[in-house]
Amino acid sequence: MSLHAQDDPQLRREQEARLREVWKPPTGWFFRWTDVNNNRIGVWYTLTAFGFMLFAGVLALIMRTQLAVPDNDLVSANTFNQLFTLHGSMMMFLFAVPMFEAVSIILLPQLLGARDLPFPRLSAFGYWSFLLGGVFVGGSIFFNAAPDGGWFMYPPLTTRTDLSGLGADIWMLGLSFIEVSSVAAAVELIVGVFKCRPPGMRLNLMPLYAWYILVVAVMILFAFPPLIAGDLLFEMERLLGWPFFDAAKGGDPLLWQHLFWIFGHPEVYIVFLPSIALFAMLIPTFAQRHLLGYPWIVLAAVGTAFLSFGLWVHHMFATGLPKISLAFFSAASEAVAIPTGVQIFAFIATLWAGKVKWSTPLLYASGSLAIFVIGGLTGVMVAIAPFDWQAHDTYFIVAHLHYVLIGGTLLPLFGGLYYYWPLITGKKLSDRLGRIAFWIMFVGVNLTFFPMHLSGLEGMPRRVFTYPADLNIGWLNLASTAGSYLFAAGVLVLVVDLALSPTRKKAVRNPWNAGTLEWLAHPDDEDWGIRSVPLIESRYPIWDQPGFVAKVDEGRFFLPDAEEGRRETIITSVLDAKPVSVIRLGTPSVKPMMTAVALGGVFILTTYHLYLLSALSGVVTLACVLWWLWDTAEIPEKPEKPIGHGMHMPLYISGPAAPGWWAMFITMMADATAFSGLVFGYYFYWTIHPDFGAGFDGPGTYWPIVALLLSLASWAATLAAREVHARGAVPPARALLIAGAVAALASLAVGLRCLDGLDPKANVYPAIVWVLVIWTVVHAAVGAIMQLYTLARSLAGRMDPAHDADLRNITVYQHFFALTALVAYLTIGLFPEAGL
């Protein structure tokens, strides 16, 4: 297959027919939902998140109606609690974060000139988990069972079962389930950015959207797991009575606040950066020039990501921590304004230097920046602890956070909607309706939230269902209510515009005359993603590379065919995007959906205390996962295939070059972060208690050390298995895998032996030891399952010394397991001996 071969129209038609056949979506009333192609999953994901946003918006309107006049009684205090809790939780967990994942699942493969992301089935799994969890959490309000403790669920209000009902469990378990899907999406997106770029797209040519997505996905890996750890402790307290947050038994509600906000503050940037990333795509298009200051934007994204992890205590300024601690976080909170400002200046400079076309998306972008800057400035104010003590828990904060989130997330997304609608549907939205909607919303936002600054400073606290007339804030609240209806009217205009879209005619290809890869999309799009995977030489290839679009369309770049009838995409190296292999992608399957349903069963059944059924659901989940995995890492029918231009790429890779290895590594980073949240808990309790654990039996030293040695033996056996297997000694490798599994199971038994005589309900000390041990032995069990799975793969002929991805991937798991065991057993076994 050479350049000249592609001159033959007949050949091109045959290639297209083969590609079309391979990428054909499944049909049938049920099976159409088993699709895994990113263009369909992404659209479902986006629509679902949009639906949850509208639902949560209606909840806000009910709240504003209740607050329109003093002493109103439209809804009861109890209902009001459910309304604001669900509004906040849904907007954050079911709209802002999933929307970023959804949009990225649609856009990223197109931006990277890939046929699909590396794990299409994982995207589908993430979507079904999200849908199930979202309906479970959101639907609870119809049964008067919605969570009612505020979106941050502070204990002890929420851990005491006499003060809060089922809602707290629904929040914890339902949203934990969604957090799983967020981590799944993060894995998918990071591996996508690292490994699925087109040849030639070195790191410095990557679209800025991809940079932002990479940064945000890494942030998810480090931000969500502490919350998952917190959720675990929280449910242990609610369901089993282990007193992690109960001060009477040595616990401390502040630990929850730490774990929640270590998640909660980066979360703000997790929802903000992807929206600003949309600006980085649309501003060059409407300025008709390259974005100025590309490395400065990367600085801003990476810098913000780091600093955002040093801000969490600024949500806890009023909790009585030492002032010096507060000052550290205040300093970091001020510092984060620097990178945030840098990117805004880069955008302004680009517009200044370009020939600006004042389009509707650009109107949304500039308008939302204005709103965001107001929120940012009040943010700098509340980052100063003494000011925060005055404003804390008042409507001033409500005003601040809504300016930030509407200006930094919602309106940019609407701008992105106008910009990218032609990419997805082939049709433009109405410029006129878009501008009308914008101005209604712009006025509505300011009318709703600006008066809240004043009502807050007048002393109106957050989360009150009504207020007395003598407080003299009735007119401010009435203005806010009027503004909220105005804003809702703007959203309605936008929804009408979307609804009219099917009646409109198709737009031209690349209607905005953009320069980036995603605009290769054709109005009558095919499901194959991209006709041929291009060679990239510029940040704006459509503008800069002569004849680029025609060459892609005529299949003159890489991988223009699907000779073997398989879905494929090119894998490249991390820094320089040199092609390293071709991988076969997952095809439509019912497995992701079934796994999501089974896993959902675990969380939902636990909410209703149906532990036996929940455990059964867990077993089904495990079975589904193994069934799903069995088809992966298949040994190809031939070692390599041509991808055009005389290049041949292997069809199988293992180790650090392979997407699967990266996925395991990234997942385990998240896992290790969750574990460090639990370890943080142990040392946190030690810090606050003068004599932590005194008067309660501990695990001693002997059994933890034995458990540790057995865990390390399991790790060493796996490592040795990998090495001897790579040298061709298959039977010894199998024996080592068996030995590893036996050691892991023995470490499990001995680990549990450590807990003899420790009553986790009595005090927080035995409780936290229990949690650390359970976490570790569960990992031992999972490790053993992996070792036996790999053994089965070897016996079934699905793994051999030249094709050892499974063994290499489980070794990565074992490295993390060894680290977990080391930290856990040394902490519980040796730290008490140190006598500190």
Residues contributing to the site for other proteins (CB under 8 A): 200-205, 290, 294-296, 298-299, 302-303, 306-307, 309-310, 313, 321-325, 327-332, 334-335, 338-339, 536-539, 574-576, 687-688, 690
Buried b (16+ CB within 10 A) or exposed e, 25-47: ebeeeeeebbbbbbbbbbbbbbe
> Residue 308: which of 267, 369, 255, 254 has the closest Cα?
267
- 108 vs 214 by CB, closer to other proteins: 214
Least Å distance, CB 782 to other proteins, is: 28
DSSP 467: -
- 53 vs 307 by CB, closer to other proteins: 307
Structure tokens at 627: 């069934």
DSSP 313: G
Least Å distance, CB 665 to other proteins, is: 13
Structure tokens at 752: 């549990």
- The Cα 817–Cα 751 span in angstroms is 14
- The Cα 309–Cα 267 span in angstroms is 10
- 579 vs 601 by CB, closer to other proteins: 579
446: how many CB neighbours lie within 10 A of its CB?
18
- 59 vs 254 by CB, closer to other proteins: 254
- 337 vs 489 by CB, closer to other proteins: 337
Least Å distance, CB 796 to other proteins, is: 37
φ, ψ at 56 (rounded to 5°): -65, -30
| Cα four-point dihedral sign 181, 182, 188, 191 | negative
Least Å distance, CB 312 to other proteins, is: 10
- The Cα 56–Cα 141 span in angstroms is 11
- 301 vs 668 by CB, closer to other proteins: 301
SS3 per-residue string spanning 630-667 = HCCCCCCCCCEEEEECCEEEECCCCHHHCHHHHHHHHH
Token pair 């030891």: residue: 769
Least Å distance, CB 336 to other proteins, is: 9
Least Å distance, CB 816 to other proteins, is: 18
- 379 vs 760 by CB, closer to other proteins: 379
- 180 vs 220 by CB, closer to other proteins: 220
- 292 vs 710 by CB, closer to other proteins: 292
- 65 vs 573 by CB, closer to other proteins: 573
> Residue 234: which of 132, 150, 167, 153 has the closest Cα?
153
Which CB contacts under 8 angstroms, 24+ apart, belong to 337-342?
A: 337/376, 337/379, 337/380, 338/303, 339/299, 339/300, 339/301, 339/303, 339/304, 339/307, 340/300, 340/304, 340/376, 342/293, 342/296, 342/297, 342/299, 342/300, 342/303
Least Å distance, CB 345 to other proteins, is: 13
Least Å distance, CB 330 to other proteins, is: 7
Up-side HSE of residue 349: CA atoms within 13 Å toward CB?
Answer: 13
Peptide linkage before 156 cis (omega within 30 of 0): yes
Least Å distance, CB 46 to other proteins, is: 30
- 349 vs 752 by CB, closer to other proteins: 349
Specify the pairing of strand 640-644 against strand 647-650.
Answer: antiparallel
CA distances from 51 to 2, 24, 55, 291 (A): 48, 28, 6, 33
Residue 164, Ramachandran bin (φ over 0: left; ψ between -120 and 50: alpha; else beta): beta
Q: Is 156 exposed, middle or buried, given 0-12, 13-18 or 19+ CB atoms closer than 10 A?
A: middle
- 439 vs 543 by CB, closer to other proteins: 543
Least Å distance, CB 825 to other proteins, is: 22
CA angle centred on 401, ends 398 and 403, rounded to 5°: 105
